[in-house]
């Protein structure tokens, strides 16, 4: 297990945050969470408020697992909708944590960063511990921190796309610019190698859902992601070698026989 990461004064050992949507069965979801070793799981208020109270069975199962719950405002398109959903989630799930998601474009599901900052300001002032789903824009990040966010969650690629890290340069820049802020890559991760790449850049954690839930075997994929994230973190801590433009021999040439 890697070294712990702290979110809003809560330390956790696992650097994988796992979503709970779109799994084939509740049993597969439960086993995937177990094998992922995730200690924080994201939950949609819409799932809990499903018709005929089907969400109650889901919520009961989640409670029994003893995980930290991170409710989200998935599907919200306005500041009012996001803030209202956050209030309802706090009442239902009994936590001040909220993953703030405010969508600005229906095709890319890119965050509306202007509304995001506005909603974050309102929620932080009301005592919420906000985990904002944002882009990799440094100015937006500064504004989110200024209104009270203590975690940033930049996207790797559009939600559910599985494309990995579309812009490693910008993510690397964000890590360098905010060395002491917990940074979580959220959205777009499709393979364990994508997660490892983000961790090798120095990111603190990965939040994903679709890559596990919609794989051929969610339980096996959850295990693979847990291992990849730990490997990526260990590689980062080991201070990887720098890339070179030319070859560098791994075998010393001193003492080697040569023609005269």
C-alpha–C-alpha distance, residues 194 and 190, integer Å? 7
pLDDT at 1: 53
pLDDT at 220: 97
Concerning whether 80 is annotated as a catalytic residue, the answer is no
Residue of higher predicted confidence among 257 and 25: 25
pLDDT digits (tens, 9 = 90+) for 182-234: 999 999 999 999 999 999 999 999 999 999 999 999 999 999 999 999 999 99
Average pLDDT over residues 69-81: 94
Tokens of 141: 């990040």
Across 15-24, 40-49, 154-163, 241-250, least confident range = 40-49
pLDDT at 56: 63
Give the three-state DSSP class for 84: helix
For residues 214 and 22, the answer to whether their CB atoms sit within 8 Å is yes
Tokens of 173: 């820049």
* This prediction's pTM: 0.89
Residue of higher predicted confidence among 253 and 134: 134
Average pLDDT over residues 40-63: 69
pLDDT at 105: 87
Burial code of 180-200, b = ≥16 C-beta within 10 A, e = fewer?
ebbbbbbbbbbbbebbbbbbb
C-alpha–C-alpha distance, residues 164 and 188, integer Å? 5
Closest C-alpha to 171, from 198, 204, 193, 191: 198
Average pLDDT over residues 119-142: 97
pLDDT at 51: 46
C-alpha–C-alpha distance, residues 54 and 144, integer Å? 35
Average pLDDT over residues 233-244: 91
Q: How many Cβ atoms sit within 10 Å of the Cβ of residue 22?
A: 13
Averaged pLDDT of the chain? 91
For residues 66 and 57, the answer to whether their CB atoms sit within 8 Å is no
Task: Say whether pLDDT at 57 is over 80.
Answer: no
Tell me which of 67, 99, 121, 129 is the catalytic residue. 99
Across 18-27, 111-120, 133-142, least confident range = 18-27
Average pLDDT over residues 37-49: 79
pLDDT at 50: 45
């Amino acid at each position: 297990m890697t070294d712990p990461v702290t979110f809003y004064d809560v330390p956790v050992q696992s650097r994988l945050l796992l979503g709970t949507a779109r799994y084939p069965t509740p049993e597969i979801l439960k086993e995937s969470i177990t094998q992922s070793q995730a200690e924080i799981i994201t939950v949609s208020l819409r799932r809990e408020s499903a018709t005929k109270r089907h969400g109650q069975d889901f919520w009961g199962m989640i409670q029994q697992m003893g995980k930290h719950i991170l409710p989200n405002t998935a599907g919200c398109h306005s500041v009012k909708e996001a803030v209202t959903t956050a209030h309802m989630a706090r009442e239902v799930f009994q936590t001040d944590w909220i993953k703030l998601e405010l969508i600005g474009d229906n095709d890319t599901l890119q965050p509306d960063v202007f509304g995001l900052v506005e909603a974050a300001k309102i929620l932080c002032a009301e005592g919420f511990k906000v985990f904002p789903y944002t882009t990799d824009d440094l100015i937006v990040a500064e504004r989110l921190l200024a209104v009270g966010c203590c975690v940033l969650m930049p996207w790797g690629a559009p939600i559910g796309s599985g494309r990995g890290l579309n812009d490693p340069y910008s993510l690397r820049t964000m890590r360098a610019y905010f060395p002491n802020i917990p940074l979580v890559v959220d959205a777009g991760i499709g393979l364990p190698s994508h997660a490892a790449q983000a961790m090798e850049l120095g990111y603190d954690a990965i939040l994903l859902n679709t890559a596990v839930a919609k794989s051929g075997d969610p339980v096996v994929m959850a295990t693979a992601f847990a291992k990849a994230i730990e490997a990526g973190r260990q590689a980062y801590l080991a201070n990887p070698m720098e890339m070179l433009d030319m070859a560098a021999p791994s075998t010393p040439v001193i003492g080697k026989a040569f023609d005269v």
